[in-house]
Amino acid sequence: MKRIKILLLFCLIIISLMVISGCNQDKSVLNIYNWGQYIDTDLLTKFEKETGIKVVYELFETNEHMLAKIESGSSNFDLVFPSDYVIEEMISKDMLHKIDFNNIPNFQYIDNRFRNLEYDPTNEYSVPYFWGTLGILYNSEEVTQNVDSWSILWDEKYTGQILMLDSMRDTIGVALKLNGYSLNSVDPVQLEEAKKMLIEQKALHNGYYVDETMDMMINGDANIALNWSGAAMDIYWQGAEHIKYALPKEGSNLWVDCMVIPKTSENKKEAEMFINFMLDPDNAYQNTEYVGYATPNQIAFERMLEENPEVTDMDAYNPSQELLDKCEVFIDLGDNREMYNQLWTEIKVY
Amino acid sequence: MKNKAKLLAYPYVVWIAIFIIVPLVLVLVYSFTEGNIHNPSSLTFSLKSYDKFFNILYLNILWKSFKLAFISTFLCLILGYPVALIISKAKAKYKGILLLFFLVPIWMNFLLRTYAWMAILSPNGFINRLLQLIGLPTLAIMPGQTAVVIGMVYNFLPFMVLPIYTVLSKIDKNVLEAAMDLGANKIITFIKVIFPLTVPGIISGITMVFMPAVSTFVISQLLGGGKELLIGNLIEQQFTVQRDWHFGSALSIILMIMILISMAFMSKADKDDEGGAALW
């Protein structure tokens, strides 16, 4: 009998706990879906303290995984961080809410260069978060020549020391750029040329990798690698100063990761509050200092250059306007994706 | 009593239904349709994905996957049989330890073991540094097919050794003594008695190694540097980067059928269905 009483008491406690925690649900919630290691988590705590909104934070690994999850309709994210060409696709598929910029006064700090870009021409759906370029990482102790062209990735002198990216758009884009074409080209002749070059290049390079590239560069397994400026900054902040980054003169890809509000969101107001919070110059500075990527927030960016003058001359953080002008943003392939897919498979097989 | 035992099977039946049958049916449906995956009403019957597969490009990938898986399975057999023999012949008190030595590496994460091989085989890795130290020219093993095969053999070898070992240790000592009494020497005993008795173990070992080897995508990505595209990689890409779930599903079905056919061949060769096969 005593046991049953204890059991009943236990049930009572659990039920009351559930009721109490249920009451807590009244507190508003913000569901965020972001890349791994792409935010200073102290900022999340700060936001929770300032607003009383509870942040639920989840991570994704690639744009495609994120898109699949949102498309399946099984999620209720309020704020997502996709890259440029994915935003274009999401807009065309009617997956995004228009953002009410009246709720985001801090948008004024966003550098003009990152407004109204091709993927969101009227800038109604997205707010830039971080930006960067695609370029060449090289070990300056082994590669003594001046690195300023994609052609070094095809230089026989470096056979077996080159790493390419296991990323379809980037790798094909580089071959297109070296030939003087747009990296958004859908011209079959230009793409065929790029394919041939990339197949020939397979005899020279040591594989298509993504996450492993940084370690292999630091270990000396490779001396030249195609990679993003963010990785270069990561390596720099880790202290491997002999590994440098070059943005080739032929031009490259400029990428912008943004904050968007998917249609599945039930807390649009809270999402806009968070966007405004992240655009506050102090918060943006704290975030760029922590993550290491370049921020589109002009005030935070200038403060970064002031406090870390050495990054001013680095292509990875602050490329010259002349080079940036030659860079292009990726445009969604739409129906041409199939052609790219086929090409990419052929490159990898032969 | 018998009925009660049947009841115990229900959780497993439910498990199979939810996690094996339903996904398989989904894959089958996707493979025979086209349209938007996330909008079931837009799906229409189509053989496009299968039609797409019959292209020299994709057949090439399938051929390469089977070739590498076959080589790896063969090497596993050559390396694994003697190991199983040695362990089964060892004194009882060493048996446990020998087996443990063999099993401990599998307790480590599969991905971790493959990364370890990257560190060993890479251009500036362990092997090449050792070669440099003694003044020999370095080897360019990774990335390449050799590295992929090494990775497969290392990762799947235990699946070959264990079934063979189980069968070997079940052989009745009296049978061997009878062979000796009838005048067979050690070699004849092995060829005429031991080996035929271990065939079921070999068969299940081959299946256990061949199946993961033919469908792997991690080993070929990491040790092949993405230059050795296997059928597993192709399927993985359809579901991630290329986002063609219909084609990915069709490829999975084709691979499954190919594996089933090879299994059917194997089980035909394996007249005696007990023994090693029962282990798995």
pLDDT given at position B8? 86
- Segment A156-167, tens digit of pLDDT: 999 999 999 998
Tokens of B201: 């173990």
Q: Is pLDDT above 80 for A12?
A: no
For A71, the closest chain B residue by CA position comes to B38
- Under the banding of pLDDT at 50, 70 and 90, the label for residue A194 is very high
**Nearest CB partner across the interface for A64, out of B61, B122, B243:** B243
The verdict on A337 touching B (C-beta cutoff 8 Å) is: yes
- How much of chain A, in percent, has pLDDT values that exceed 90? 74
Nearest to B227 among A71, A168, A202 (CB): A202
CB A117 within 8 A of CB A329: yes
Q: Which residue of A has its CA nearest to B120?
A: A221
DSSP collapsed to 3 states, B148-183? HHHHHHHHHHHHHHHHHHHHHHHCCHHHHHHHHHCC
For testing contact with chain A, the best of B227, B237, B243 (most A CBs within 10 A): B227
Question: What mean pLDDT comes out for the span B166-189?
Answer: 91
Q: Give the CATH class of A132-254+312-349.
A: alpha beta
What is the count of residue pairs from A and B with beta carbons less than 8 Å apart? 68
Q: What is the pLDDT of residue A64?
A: 78
Mean pLDDT of chain B: 89
Does position A10 have pLDDT exceeding 70, yes or no?
no
Q: Note whether B251 and B53 are within 8 A (CB).
A: yes
* Mean per-residue pLDDT, A205-222: 91
Q: What is the pLDDT of residue A18?
A: 59
Average pLDDT over residues A48-68: 89
Determine the average pLDDT of the residues in B123-142: 90
Q: What is the pLDDT of residue B42?
A: 84
Chain A, 91 to 150: residues with Cβ < 8 Å from chain B are none
**Contact (Cβ atoms closer than 8 angstroms) between residue A130 and residue A182:** no
Average confidence (pLDDT) over A127-153: 95
Q: pLDDT digit string (tens) for A90-125?
A: 999 999 999 999 999 999 999 999 999 999 999 999
B277 pLDDT exceeds 50? no
Kindly report the nearest CA distance between residue A269 and chain B, in angstroms.
28
Tell whether the model's pLDDT for residue B104 goes beyond 70.
yes
Q: Which residues of chain A are within 8 Å of residue B221 when distances are taken between CB atoms?
A: 166
Which residues of A fall within a CB distance of 8 Å from B243? 64, 67-68, 337
Q: How confident is the model at residue B278 (pLDDT cuts 50, 70, 90)?
A: very low
B140 → closest Cβ in A73, A160, A346? A160
**Region A250-273: what's the mean pLDDT?**
94
Q: Could you report the per-residue pLDDT of B9-35, keeping only the tens digit for each? A: 888 999 999 999 999 999 999 999 998
Nearest-by-CA chain A residue for B226:
A208
A91 to chain B, closest Cα gap in Å: 17
B152: closest CA among B85, B81, B228, B249?
B228
Of B118, B226, B234, which has the smallest distance from its Cβ to A208's Cβ? Answer: B226
Say if CB B189 and CB B180 are below 8 A apart: yes
pLDDT at B275: 44
Fold for the domain defined by A18-129+256-296: D-Maltodextrin-Binding Protein; domain 2 (3.40.190)
Mean pLDDT of B30-49: 87
Burial class (CB in 10 A: 0-12, 13-18, 19+), B129: exposed
B41 touches A: beta carbon within 8 Å: no
Residues from chain A contacting residue B244 (CB–CB below 8 Å): 338, 341
> How many C-beta atoms surround the C-beta of residue A201 within 10 A?
17
Is A85 exposed, middle or buried (CB count within 10 Å of its CB: 0-12, 13-18, 19+)?
buried
Does residue B38 have a pLDDT over 80?
A: no
Among B123, B224, B240, the residue with its CB nearest the CB of A64 is B240
Answer whether A218 touches B (CB < 8 Å).
Answer: no
Is residue A287 scored above 90 in pLDDT?
Answer: yes
pLDDT at A153: 97
How much of chain B, in percent, has pLDDT values that exceed 70? 95
A208–B227 CB contact, under 8 Å: yes
**pLDDT computed for residue A8 by the predictor:** 64
Q: What is the pLDDT of residues A19-30, one digit of tens each?
A: 555 545 557 899
Residue A170 has pLDDT above 90, yes or no: yes
Instruction: Among A270-274, A314-318, B103-107, name the one with the lowest average pLDDT.
Output: B103-107
**Residue ranges covered by each domain of chain A:** 18-129+256-296, 132-254+312-349
Confidence of residue A63 (pLDDT cuts 50, 70, 90): confident
The topology under which CATH files domain B63-243+271-279 is MetI-like fold (1.10.3720)
Considering only the beta carbons, identify the residue of A168, A206, A212 that sits closest to B123: A206
